[in-house]
Amino acid sequence: MRYGSIINGQERNEKQRETLEVRNPFNQEKVAELALATQSDLEDAVNNSFDTFHSTMKVMHAHQRSDILRKAADLLEGKVEEFAQTIVKEAGKPIKYSRDEIKRSIQVLRFSSELAKNITGEVIPMDAAIGGENRMGLVTRKPLGVVGAITPFNFPLNLSLHKIAPAIAAGNTIVFKPAENTPISAYLLVKLFQEAGLPKGVLNLLMGTGKVGEPLVTHKKVHKITFTGSLPVGRKIRESAGFKKVTLELGSNSPNILFEDADIESAVKDLVKGAFAFSGQVCISAQRVYVHKSIYDSFLEKYIKETESLTIGNPEKEETDIGPMINEDEAMRAKQWIDDAVEKGAKIEIGGERNGTVLSPTIMTNVDHNMKIIAEEVFAPIVSVIPFETEDEVVNYSNDSIYGLQAGVFTKDIDRAMRVANQLEMGGVWINEISTYRQDNHPYGGVKQSGIGKEGVKYAIEDMTEIKFIGVKLNPNH
Ligand SMILES: NC(=O)c1ccc[n+]([C@@H]2O[C@H](COP(=O)([O-])OP(=O)(O)OC[C@H]3O[C@@H](n4cnc5c(N)ncnc54)[C@H](O)[C@@H]3O)[C@@H](O)[C@H]2O)c1
Ligand SMILES: O=C[C@H](O)CS(=O)(=O)O
């Protein structure tokens, strides 16, 4: 199948277009061909989104936007398997995790549908200021206009919906540039919205690489860029976006801390999933596990044993826990980071083997903060287990990073849990839960170089609207 951009409801898929192949990361079979967008498609998409904002979207009421989002959720509920199988093929995500992603996506649509009807403002007590008597002050929320949404390969449906659904709820139009390796779910999503009754031009789709992402970021008619992806690209976007609002959801090297009173059995099970789900290609994947020295040996032994029980192989199979990475270059890069750490004195406790795009789940010890597998975002099935002695020490270790997205703290002592949570330089901290856990309705987004702004439907809507003050001077004699 060949997939093209969709602008004002029309697909642009002519034969003479430059194309890009999409290959199944597990077996390298050709899954699809992408008909790439040109500079003139980009102009058309942005202009059409701009015009649609001023015509269609400005007169579309909250209850209509809410209905479309709810209808999209209902339709997606009937297509879980079609979308899940697509993500298996284009991203190599094991089927059970692909289905989880679709189920979360349905919730994102439902939260957005509900919140579309609840975008409220406030009334300011104007007489609180001397001279403010007989005045009324209203704080209202207005949509921004055209939102440019640029998304990554690893949660191609849910992370796209975390931008598109709140943007629609808030009354914006969207130019959507999905990752070039996972364009099919993006295409199906735009079709799903068409079926749900979204007017053409509200959601325009541009197929292509960063080459089409760049001019979207700098375009004068785009009011906001919401980007999820890597730090280097995020940095570029920040520098070139000018006065636009920018949300950046970037990477991390998430720490998880186990104190001596942690429930080891359940932490072990959760941290296997937390480090290795989708081969660690999750921005909040458990990358650093700090374990109190009194339970270190026992934890490590159990952690290795549980990791041994994972099933590695074809992501289409129900029993598969670990499938491929997105491509061979990425698997080679990760393997090289392991080798580099070993050269510097690290030990592989389990894993460390690469077969094409598949890297076996790897636990490392004897690591230090100068190794890439600790200091940088590993984004692969590699986790390091590190002993610590004191609370201060582990807080310092955890904060010794350019990133700060999410962390996990495991202890039965609530005072300690809260003390540590407050000291961690993170966008979010889970207590007795892994860093990798995310619900779609809590604020989500990093500090430091993990990003700017928040998602989680309510918070994305806040970032996709502008506060507008309206003041009225009343005549007390009327
Ligand atoms: N914080 C989060 O919520 C979150 C969630 C998922 C993934 N991520 C991060 O995403 C990364 C992995 O995803 P990826 O490999 O698809 O990321 P990536 O940065 O390579 O690509 C993301 C998107 O940006 C586009 N792009 C590339 N260059 C561009 C440019 N110069 N201008 C505009 N757009 C450009 C790509 O085509 C793609 O659509 C990891 O670093 C991961 O941590 C973060
Ligand atoms: O990859 C990072 C994602 O934000 C994880 S999740 O889809 O939000 O759980």
- Confidence at residue 478, expressed as pLDDT on a 0 to 100 scale: 81
- Of the listed ligands, the closest to the CA of 456 is 2
297 contacts: CB under 8 Å, gap ≥ 6? none
Residue 78 belongs to what H/E stretch?
A: none
Q: Give mean pLDDT in consecutive 10-residue pieces for the chain, a chain of 478 residues.
A: 98 97 98 98 98 97 98 99 98 98 98 98 98 97 98 98 99 99 98 98 98 98 98 98 97 98 98 98 98 98 98 98 98 98 98 98 97 98 98 98 98 98 98 98 98 98 98 92
Residue 478 lies in a domain: no
Same domain as 284, residue 204: no
Helix, strand, coil share of the chain (percent; to 5): 40, 25, 35
| CATH value at residue 216 | 3.40.605.10
283 is catalytic: yes
Q: Which atom of ligand 2 is nearest to the CA of 152?
A: 1
State whether 193 and 163 are in the same domain. yes
- Contact criterion met (CB below 8 Å) for 231 and 38: no
The CA distance from 122 to 314, in Å, is 53
Alpha carbon 71 to its chain centroid, in Å, reads: 23
Grouping H, G, I as helix, E, B as strand and the rest as coil, residue 286 is coil
Residue 444 resides in a domain = no
Based on the domain organization, do 160 and 192 belong to the same domain? yes
Phi and psi at 446, nearest 5°, equal -95, 170
> Which CATH number goes with the domain that contains 387?
3.40.309.10
Say whether both 112 and 148 belong to one domain: yes
Residues 175 and 315 in one domain: no
Claim to verify: residue 455 and residue 433 sit in the same structural domain: no
Q: For ligand 1, atom 17, which residue shows the shortest CA distance?
A: 229
Residue 446 counted as domain residue: no
474 located within any domain: no
Residues 217 and 338 in one domain: no
Does residue 80 sit in the same domain as residue 186? yes
Protein residues whose CB sits closer than 6 Å to any atom of ligand 2: 154-155, 158-159, 282-284, 438
Same domain, 72 and 179: yes
How high is the ipTM of this complex?
0.97
Report which bound ligand comes closest to the CA of 274.
2
Distance from Cα 287 to the centre of ligand 2, integer Å: 14
Query: Range of 261's domain?
Result: 255-439
Catalytic residue list contains 21:
no
Q: Tell me which residue of 115, 132, 110 sits closest to 123, measured CA to CA.
A: 132
Nearest-atom number in ligand 2 for the CA of 438 is 9
Helix axes 80-91, 95-116, angle to 10 degrees: 120
Atom of ligand 2 nearest to the CA of 162: 8
- Considering the candidates 283, 349, 377, 455, report the single residue annotated as catalytic: 283
Cα separation, 75 vs 297, in Å, equals 50
477 occurs within a structural domain: no
Mutate to test the pocket of ligand 2, among 227, 282, 378, 444 (most ligand atoms within 8 A of CB): 282
Residue 363: inside a domain = yes
**Domain count of the chain?**
2
Q: Are residues 460 and 323 in the same domain?
A: no
pLDDT at 41: 98
